[in-house]
Structure 1
Amino acid sequence: MTYFILIRRWLLCSIFLLPMLSAPSLAAVNGEITFFSNRVDLVTNGSYARWVKEFQIQYPQARVQVQGITDYEVAMPKRFEARNYGDVMLVPRDMPKQTYPKYFLPLNGLQLQDKIYFADNWEYQGKHYAYTQGVIAEGLVYNKRVFKAAGLDKPPATLDELFTIAATLKATGKVPIALNLGAAWPLQQWDKAVMGAAGDGNYFANMVNDAQPFRAGKPYYQSLKIAHDLFTKGYSEEDFILNNWELSKHDFIANKTAMLFLGNWVIPQLMESGMRSEDIGFIPFPFDNSGKPRAILNFDWGMAVSRYSKHPDTAKAWIEFIITKSNFADIAGFIPTDKSRRSPMAQLTQYMSYQPEIIQAAPESNDFIRLANKAGMDFMSGGYIRNILLSPDFEGSMAYWNKRWRQAKENF
């Protein structure tokens, strides 16, 4: 079952509006809830077990079961269809907002709107149905040891420098950058890079008015061309079939791979696996040759409460706890959602030292999500991008996606 098919079913379902729930009281927080998380690593390393214990100290009558879901984007649509998506879950990126009331409860009663970043991202008709579990700085993570061994004394400041450095690294026998074609989902970075190329965090909302968004010179073309050139020039991993996500991190730590284009959340994962913080660099990705850095500040998955939960107050209290009371953001590698908190990550200091132009990602509009689904783009999932990178005819691929987008608009 793909998101595309499921979205069509979502849109055919009737919408049920529910009253806003007030902030949970201590007595109301009881019973057992299940949270489906995409962070399998934090389940495996015991972090979630610790947060559950801390939560239960505050709410002794409550119990939380955390289940880590691998390939969240693929696995969860089936659970939504079967109403087996737990009490707290993450909202699919391509779910139309008008379907939120069918699946989730409003969170306005938590009164977090003015205290957190991206509070309005999952808002529909004045009600907030989810809050992000963390804020992400998108950028280029690089291995300082590999750079030094290759005689490189600084990271790339322009796109041309990126490719020159990649050629130098390849000549030393290193993998310049891990794209993770086999895993596919990390290729969502090239969807995000469109905002950097455009210099516009609200680009996707405006894209619905463009009949040819993949034409040469357009932000999508620019972003995908960078990824395609990195792949076709042999600057990425050789294996593009198997899901080597975990291996890509291991190879980075083992000085076999030099760069990763990801969010700052990956840095704690590298450190937890044994890499020293001082060996990890992090800079804004050089989208062009202007030399003017642009920093994309993005939102991670939004946490929501199921409208079918038997213990909604407990589910809401869990979301509030994760955002405002736990150190989830620090351990997970996020900038805290709570505006009053600060990240201790040293690499963010380096990142901001470039004084980049801040591009704050806006939530995708309903029209964009519907058009992307109708065109067959698995937006922010990476599958269609992998097909583009594997195609020997990049220009033909761009023409194909322009056609798909135009047809979707004509039938919108």
Structure 2
Amino acid sequence: MRNKLFSLCFVIIMIFSLSLTGCGSNNNNNAASATDKPAATTDTEGTGGNASATTEPAAASGTDISGKITFLTNRTDMIGKEYDEYVKRFNEKYPNIKVEFEASQTDYNQQAKVRMASGELPDVMFVPSIPNSDLPKYFASLDDLGLNDKITFKDFKSYEGKLYGITTGNSTSGIVYNKKAFADAGITEVPKTWDEFLAACEKLKAKGIVPLASNFKDKWPLNDWVFAVPRIIENKADFPNDKLNTDTPFTMDNGYGKSFSLLRELNEKGYLEKDINSTNWEQSKKDIAAGKFAMYFLGNWVINQVVGAGTTSDNVGFFPLPYDNSGKLTAPLSPDFFYAVAKDSKNVDAAKAFVKWMIEESGYEDFAGFISPLKGKESKLPQLKEFQATGVTLQEGTPDDPKVTEITNKAQLDIPAMLQEFVLAKDPQTVFDKWNKAWAKAKKDLGY
């Protein structure tokens, strides 16, 4: 299990040889985590073309399919537990398929790439950070599963009209809050504007409750402020790609500056941890559960973890971040890891049957705290129902242009780290000036 990956989103040094991106630090915080964090806010590889609705002949099913398959998973905590229950139910439908699980004990993305290089892929796995143009080299098309028109993010892991990866589940981001802490502070309604949010923070602070746990020091918990909020402020899912058209992509009056300024304001008003340079992720979950801290701004994946840290589900709520005073609520929708089937698997049909069953019947998304990868399927989680009842619009993320990733890497630009600088700087404009200069130079050096 990885508590400190993101990140929405996978950039590690060895990845550059095969190409990827993501959100965040050395381990890129877009990477999905076993138990602590979502994956990726965005996929920073190229789209590689759009998946088409072309459907191949349906694969065999039921007793017609047999074989032994191995699934390389990052969810080490589920082996011997929930996965066993899944296999029992799966075998009721596919009695002749034996499923085994292989645990990824290290960085999943890196381990998967090593396996790809050696030509020893498991039958079922998650797609690592590779260009979409490489997908056909390693994975079988999933168009014959009949899911193309039912799933979200079908274009993310597609190439030349063929589908190679299906998201395991989706996340949105918002305010996860302790209901008792809100009640103790006299907050009777969830905020719907930024001014209302600040007023709620002030009431919490006056009550001796830390309004928002930022986990500032760990950096990856800041991913949503840099990868999600700028997009929704601009009302443009592919806003990061606008950086290609300018030498000064970071300005105080665009999505980046406005988003960063929100967190800066919360810190200046004393609404974050007392010492944001010495925060503790694991302890923060316990403090949220106990009501010492009132809120997180994170993905819905953290809801079950807060409950597990010492409170009841009915004490945890979830509402969209009101990032301005318009009253209009928008939140990002991002995919987690993507299931894929190895092209050279000896039991491709069996592997495909397992992937289809995991998507449609396992219920994994509810266990993991995700939104279903299937369009329109309602979550069983009460917090997600509360979130959706606000009338929030979900903005489906888009892949970043590969050129953006290339320039970002050349400039050694770490946007969550930039946010840390911005929040603490005496003059935040100087932070933007520094990184705009680095961006412009890298862009010019690469001929863009």
Same fold? TM cut 0.5: yes
> Is the contact between residue 30 and residue 59 of structure 1 (CA under 8 Å) also seen in structure 2?
no
CA distance in 2, matches of 1:303, 1:388: 37
Deviation at 1:390, TM superposition (A): 5.5
Counterpart in 1 of 2:429? 395
Residue 32 (1) aligns with residue 40 (2) = no
After TM superposition, give the deviation of residue 201 of structure 1 in Å: 2.0
Match of 2:18 in 1: 10
What letter matches 1:55 in structure 2? F
Q: What secondary structure, in the 3-state scheme, does the structure 2 residue paired with 1:208 have?
A: helix
Instruction: Classify 1:397/1:272 alpha carbon distance in 2 versus 1 (closer, same or farther; 3 Å).
Output: same
Q: What SS is found at the alignment partner of 1:105? A: coil
In the alignment, the residues of structure 2 paired with residue 95 and residue 391 of structure 1 have an alpha-carbon distance, to the nearest angstrom, of 36
Report deviation, 1:79: 6.0
Q: Which digits, 9 at most, give the CA deviation of each residue in 1:160-212, with x for residues without a partner?
A: 33333323323333221122234433322121112211112232344432332
Q: Give matches, 1:210-249, under 5 Å.
A: 210-231=246-267, 233-238=269-274, 244-249=280-285
Write the distance in 1 (CA, Å) between the matches of 2:277 and 2:78. Answer: 26
Q: Which residue of 1 aligns with 2:391?
A: 355
Q: Residue 293 of structure 1: CA displacement? A: 1.5
Of residues 274, 281, 303, the one that matches 2:317 is 281
CA distance in 2 between partners of 1:31 and 1:320 (Å) = 16
- 2:361 maps to 325
Offset of 1:287 from its aligned partner? 1.4
Q: What is the CA–CA distance in structure 2 between the aligned matches of 1:43 and 1:254, rounded to whole Å?
A: 29
Aligned-residue offset at 1:11:
5.1
Which of 158, 161, 168 is 2:203 aligned to?
168
Deviations, residues 302-359 of structure 1 (Å, cap 9, x unaligned): 2223446454434333321211111111111222112363212222332233223442
Please state whether the residue corresponding to 1:216 is helix, strand or coil: coil
Q: Quote the residue 1:336 is aligned against.
A: 372
Q: Distance in 1 between matches of 2:414 and 2:79?
A: 27
SS at match of 2:171: strand
Deviates more, 1:102-111 or 1:229-238: 229-238
Q: Structure 2 unaligned runs (5+)?
A: 1-9, 21-55
Say if 1:139 and 1:188 are closer, same or farther in 2 by CA, change over 3 A: same
Query: How far apart in 1 are the matches of 2:298 and 2:336?
Result: 12
Q: Is the 8 A contact 1:4 1:376 kept in 2?
A: no
Q: Are 1:101 and 2:136 an aligned pair?
A: yes
Change (3 A) 1:360 1:11: closer
- Structure 1 pair 332–68 and aligned structure 2 pair: CA distance change class (3 A): farther
Map residues 6-405 of structure 1 onto 2, 5 A cutoff. 6-10=14-18, 23=59, 25=61, 28-37=65-74, 39-40=75-76, 42-43=78-79, 46-57=81-92, 58-67=94-103, 72=108, 86-92=122-128, 95-190=130-225, 191-231=227-267, 233-238=269-274, 244-307=280-343, 309-339=345-375, 341-377=377-413, 382=416, 385-386=419-420, 388-389=422-423, 393-405=427-439
1:119 Cα offset (Å): 1.7
Conserved? CA contact 1:29–1:317, under 8 Å: no
Q: Which is bigger in relative contact order (C-alpha 8 A, separation at least 6)?
A: 1
Percent identical across equivalent pairs? 35
| Secondary structure at the counterpart of residue 216 of structure 2 | coil
**1:16 matched to which residue of 2?**
none
- Asked if the contact 1:131–1:304 (Cα under 8 Å) also holds between the matched residues in 2, the reply is yes
Distance 1:231 1:148 in 2: 23
Q: Which sits farther off after the overlay, 189-198 or 291-300?
A: 291-300
CA distance in 1, matches of 2:100, 2:397: 32
> Per-residue deviation at 1:240?
5.3
* Structure 1 residue 149 displacement after superposition: 0.9
Q: Measure the CA separation in 1 of the matches of 2:440 and 2:147.
A: 40
- 1: CA distance, partners of 2:338 / 2:115: 17
Amino acid in structure 2 at the alignment position of 1:3: V
Whether the 8 Å CA contact 2:379–2:385 is kept in 1: the answer is no
User: Alpha carbons of 1:240 and 1:62: their partners in 2 closer, same or farther (altered >3 Å)?
Assistant: farther
Q: What CA distance in whole angstroms lies between the structure 2 residues aligned with 1:73 and 1:378?
A: 19
Query: Structure 1 residues 386, 33: CA separation in 2 closer, same or farther (over 3 Å shift)?
Result: farther
Query: Does the 8 A contact of 1:144 with 1:279 survive in 2?
Result: yes
- Contact residue 290 and residue 310 of structure 2 kept, 8 A: no
User: Given that residues 33 and 314 in structure 1 are in contact (C-alpha distance below 8 angstroms), is that contact kept between their aligned partners in structure 2?
Assistant: no
Decide whether the 8 Å contact of 2:72 with 2:102 is kept in 1.
yes
Displacement after TM superposition at 1:369 (Å): 3.3
Give 1:294 deviation, angstroms.
Answer: 1.6
What is the count of residue pairs matched by the alignment? Answer: 399
The residue type equivalent to 2:213 in the other structure is: A
Name the CA distance, whole Å, in 2 between partners of 1:306 and 1:239: 47
Specify every segment of 5 or more residues in structure 1 that has no aligned partner in the other structure, as ranges. 13-19
Identify which range, 111-120 or 99-108, moves more after superposition. 99-108
Q: In the alignment, is residue 407 of structure 1 matched against residue 441 of structure 2?
A: yes
How high is the TM-score relative to the length of structure 2?
0.77
